[in-house]
Amino acid sequence: MPRVIVCGAGSVANAIARALRDATLDVVTAADATAVERAVAAAQTRNERIDALVTVAPERGPAATIVATPETQWDDVVERHLTAVFLACKAVMPHLIAAGGGAIVNVADAAGYGRAHMLAESASHGGIIAFGAALAYDHFHDRVRVNTIVAGDAAGPDDIAPVAAFLLSPDAEVMSGSILDVCNVAYQGGR
C-alpha cells in the first residue's frame, strides 16, 4: 500500500485524502514548514517508505495590485504559497530517491498564469509551475515524477481530487513535468 504525504489544509486537501483511500496517508498542514519534515522523520523511524507527496496551495489572500502590496504581505504570500512547496518537496525528495522513485503532485492556482489584483499569488503560483518542471528534469533519472495541477477559478475539490489521484496512479506512469489545467482551458482561462 503506497504511503502518501498530503501537505495542505482545507476542502481540496481533504478531498484528495478521500480520493487516495487505498493509500496510507499522512496529512499535514502547509502552514507549518517543518510538518512535512516531521512526517518524513516519523515514517523513517517506523522504517516505512514514502511513495508520494501532494501539496495543495492555501486559500487566496486579499486582492491587491503591486501598489497595494506591502513588502511584508509579499513575503508572507511567497513564503506560504511558494516556499512551502519547495520545503515540502525538499523534505520528501531524498526518500523518494531512496525508494527508487515516486510521484509528486503540486496543486497550483490558475493565478500562476497571471490574474488581476493577485500580484503576489500570481508570482508565487507561476513559480510553482516552473518549479515543478525544473524538479521533473532534475529527478528524471531518479524516477521521481513531478506533475502540476493548475486549478481554475471554478475548480472544486471533487474536480481536482480524482485528477490528483490519477496522476499518482500507474496509469499516469509516463506523465512527468506536465502542467494539467483543471476547470481552466489550457494555459489560460476566459471566454
Which residue ranges make up the site for another protein (CB under 8 A)?
Answer: 101, 132-133, 136-138, 140-141, 143-145, 155-156, 158-160, 162-163, 165-166, 171-187, 191
* Nearer Cβ to another protein (33/179): 179
**Shortest Å, Cβ 15 to another protein:** 11
Q: Pairing between strand 24-28 and 102-109?
A: unpaired
Looking at the Cβ atoms of 123 and 144, the one nearer to another protein is: 144
Q: Closest approach of Cβ 128 to another protein, in Å?
A: 13
Residues 6+ apart with CB under 8 A from 15: 157, 158, 160, 161
**Which of helix, strand or coil describes residue 154?**
coil
Residue whose CB is less far from another protein, 5 or 144: 144
At 115, the amino acid letter reads R
Least CB distance to another protein at residue 149 (A): 9
Compute the least distance from the CB of residue 18 to another protein, in Å: 12
Angle, alpha carbons 39-173-109 (nearest 5°): 60
Compare residues 15 and 91 and give the one whose CB is closer to another protein. 15
Q: Which of 102, 108, 85, 182 is nearest to 146 (CA)?
A: 102
Q: What's the min distance (Å) between Cβ of 62 and another protein?
A: 27
Of the pair 43, 182, the CB lying nearest another protein is at 182
* Continuous H helices in the chain: 11-19, 35-45, 71-77, 84-98, 119-138, 157-168
